Amino acid sequence: MDLGLRGKVAVITGGSTGIGLAVAEGLAAEGVDLVLAARHADRVSDSAAKTAARFGVRAVGVSCDLAGAAGAEALIAAVEREFGGCDILINNAGTGTNETIMEAPDSKWQAYWELHVMAAVRLARGLVPFMKKRGGGVILHNASICASQPLWYEPIYNVTKAALVMFSKSLATEVIKDKIRVNTINPGLILTGDWIKTAKQLTADKGGD
């Protein structure tokens, strides 16, 4: 299927494994060049190289921690340096915690707010201007079904993902005039490495193996 995306540039956070990498491969199959962002340098570079070789596109891996302004700034700079901007932004980076509301310290709430919400805010501020110059673009936020139906063991994840949904709606109203579409998807449980790790931890907490 030709979706008319050949030659576009997509930025995907959390792009070295799991959902992010699957999305990257789907876009690469349509001829989209990629900037994959993740914390682990070796992993993201390897994923970018393999995707480029497999699909014949250009793919760049950027190691950055988006739970802070410096990580977002580094990613934005890399996008401008490598491609002069982008047409697509997919905010996929995220993780969960099994701490309850009573257990989790302020620092944990702040860390997840930075990663799930502020990373999306910072990347929008930095990358939307490129999309405007290109005549439009697409921003997609990978939130979670937890944004509307909370999981009992991940309250911080629930709250910050719900905030991401509202940010997405707010941003959409602001940039639609610039021909930039903003959407959110709220997937349910998907068998990724993070989910396997969470399932094992929950099982261990209940005395199983």
Fold of 9-205: Rossmann fold (3.40.50)
Confidence of residue 149 (pLDDT cuts 50, 70, 90): confident
Q: Which of 55, 83, 130, 157 is catalytic?
A: 157
Ranges of each domain in the chain: 9-205
Tokens of 93: 């980076």
Q: How confident is the model over 98-142, as pLDDT tens digits? A: 788 999 999 999 999 999 999 999 999 999 999 999 999 999 999
Q: Any catalytic annotation for residue 157?
A: yes
The dihedral formed by the CA atoms of 25, 7, 58 and 142, expressed in degrees to the nearest 10: -40
d(CA 129, CA 134) in angstroms, rounded, equals 9
Q: What is the pTM of this model?
A: 0.88
